[in-house]
Structure formats: structure tokens, C-alpha cells
Amino acid sequence: MNKELKELNLELPKVSTPGGSYVSVNIRGDIAYIAIQFPIINGEHYYKGRLGNELTNDEGYKAMQMCALNVLAQVETKIGMDRIVGLNHFDAYYQSGNNWNDAPKIVNGASDLFLKVLGEKGQHSRAIFGVDKLYGNLCAGLTCSFTIK
């Protein structure tokens, strides 16, 4: 995974800690659930605002990529990449202006990263939800589930 990240000029950030009474990784049997991850890298908040208003599609794509990087950091730190069988599904959340409708394009920021870094193990299904408000006025958030061994 580190080789693939280097080729993309990316690296895993430090893992964040939960902002409430929950755990960031919850394992039940052979499924690991990753709590929502935002475009926060090493404590710094990125991409605040609404897609289509203050933020462009390119910025939204990068925000979703950051969310996916945080997911991978949680997996590496709390589970270990060697235990990953595959990414099952993720739910992507975004906030946008009223007339913006390019969610699939920006969510590809996460999908593309998972596929490039995890290869076949990164194949997944996904759902996309437009919401009125996300934590800290961040434009994107991502939750995931993985099968583990």
C-alpha cells in the first residue's frame, strides 16, 4: 500500500480520535466498520463550505480522497492491512448548494483511491447522501465496512 500511495504523492495521515462516545473502528465477527472520516489531516480541517457554492468539483474530489486516506489510516493502525480481505461498501456524505448535482464525480475521489491502493480488494459498492450540514462545515464525510480475516 505504501508504494501505491507514494506513486500518488500521498501518505497516510495520523489517525484522528473520535469526537464523541464511540470508537473509530468497530469489529463484529469478520466485518470492520469505520466511523465517519472527514477531510481532516493531522488535525487541520480542509474543504469547508458547500460544493457548487464555495467549493469546486476538483476540491470535492480531493476532499473525498482525504476522507479515504483517513479510512486507510484507521485500518492500518487499528486492524492492519494484512488482515483486509476487501472493502465491502461505503457511504459518502456531502453538503452542497441547491443547484449542484455532481456527487458521483466527487465521490470518485474515494473510489479511485481505494481501487488504486487496494487493487481488487478495493472493489466496493457505495451510496451517496446529500445532507444539510456536516461537522465543522466540512464538505464531505465517509464511512466504510471491510471484511477482515
Task: Look up the domain containing 56 and give its range.
Answer: 2-9+23-148
Q: How far apart are CA 19 and CA 127, in angstroms?
A: 24
Domain count, the chain: 1
Cell numbers standing for residue 42: 493531522
Q: Which residues of the chain have pLDDT under 70?
A: 1
Q: Is residue 16 part of a domain?
A: no
Query: How much is the pLDDT for 89?
Result: 98
- Residue 86 near residue 120 (C-beta atoms within 8 A): yes
Q: Is residue 18 part of a domain?
A: no
Q: Is residue 81 part of a domain?
A: yes
- Residue 82 near residue 45 (C-beta atoms within 8 A): no
Q: How far apart are CA 16 and CA 52, in angstroms?
A: 28
Query: How much is the pLDDT for 27?
Result: 97
Q: Is residue 126 part of a domain?
A: yes
Q: How far apart are CA 84 and CA 30, in angstroms?
A: 10
Query: How much is the pLDDT for 32?
Result: 98
Q: How far apart are CA 28 and CA 13, in angstroms?
A: 25
Q: How far apart are CA 141 and CA 107, in angstroms?
A: 10
Q: Domain holding 133: CATH number?
A: 3.30.1330.40
Q: Is residue 53 part of a domain?
A: yes
Q: Is residue 15 part of a domain?
A: no
- Residue 70 near residue 102 (C-beta atoms within 8 A): no
SS3 107: helix
In DSSP terms, which residues pair with 37 in a beta bridge? 142
Q: How far apart are CA 89 and CA 123, in angstroms?
A: 9
Cell numbers standing for residue 101: 448535482
Q: Is residue 67 part of a domain?
A: yes
Query: How much is the pLDDT for 1?
Result: 67
